[in-house]
A and B are shown apart, each in its own frame.
Chain A
Amino acid sequence: MRRHLRNLLERGIGVAMLICALLSVATTAGIILTLVGQSVPFFRAVPLGEFFAGRKWAPLFEPPRYGLLPLICGTFLITVGALLVAVPIGVSAALFLSECAPRRLRDVLKPVLEILAGVPSVVYGFFALTFLTPNVIAKLVPSTPIFNAASAAIVVGIMIIPTICSLSDDAFRAVPRSLREAGFALSATRFEVAGRIVLPGAASGVVAAILLAVGRAIGETMAVTIAAGIKPTLTLNPFESVQTMTAFIAEVSEGDVEAGTMASHCLFAVGLVLFAITLGVNLVARWFSRRFREVYE
Chain B
Amino acid sequence: MTSAAPSISMLYQPRLARRKACNVVFYVTGAAVCAMTVALLATLIGVVLKDGWTFLTVRFVTSFPSRIEPELAGVKPALFGSLCVVLMTGVISVPLGVGAAVYLSEYAGDSRLNRFIQLNIANLAGVPSIVYGLLGLAVFVRWLHLGSSILAGSLTMSLLVLPVIIISAREAIAAVPQSLRQAAYALGATRWQTVRAHVLPSALPGILTGVILSLSRAVGEAAPLLIVGAAAFMLSMPGSQAGGGAWNKLVAIGTDNFAVLPIQIFNWCKEPDVVFQQLAAAGIVVLLAALLAMNSVAVGIRLWHQRKRTW
Contacts and interface: CB of A to CB of B under 8 A. Distances in A.
B102 A123 contact: no
Interface in B20-44: 20, 22-23, 25-27, 29-31, 33-34, 36-38, 40-41, 43-44
Contacts of B281: 126, 130
B192 A9 contact: yes
Interface in B123-142: 123-124, 126-135, 137-139, 142
B266 interface: yes
A253 interface: yes
B162 interface: yes
A96 B31 contact: yes
Interface size range of chain A in the complex = 35 or more
A259 B141 CA distance: 10
Interface in A201-244: 212, 215-216, 218-222, 225-226
Which of B117, B123, B135, B226 neighbours the largest number of chain A CB atoms within 10 Å of its CB? B135
Contacts of B120: 24-25, 28
A191 B33 contact: no
B130 A271 contact: yes
B34 A38 contact: no
A202 B265 CA distance: 41
Contacts of A123: 44, 48, 220, 265, 284, 287-288
Interface string B105-120: 0011000000011001
Contacts, number: 255
Contacts of A130: 47, 51, 277, 281
Contacts of B132: 31
A53 interface: no
5 contacts: A14-B103, A20-B97, A93-B37, A119-B220, A271-B130
Given A18-B107, A28-B123, 18 more contacts: A16-B99, A24-B162, A25-B117, A31-B135, A89-B37, A92-B29, A92-B30, A93-B33, A96-B27, A97-B34, A100-B26, A118-B216, A120-B222, A120-B287, A219-B130, A226-B270, A246-B128, A275-B127
Contacts of B288: 119, 123
Contacts of B100: 17, 20-21, 23-24
Interface string A256-280: 1101000000011001001100110
Contact of B130 (A6, A23, A274): A274
Interface residues of B, number: 85
A271 B127 CA distance: 11
B85 interface: no
Contacts of A24: 100, 117, 120-121, 124, 162-163, 166
A250 B227 contact: yes
Contacts of B223: 121, 221-222, 246, 250
Contacts of A35: 131, 134-135
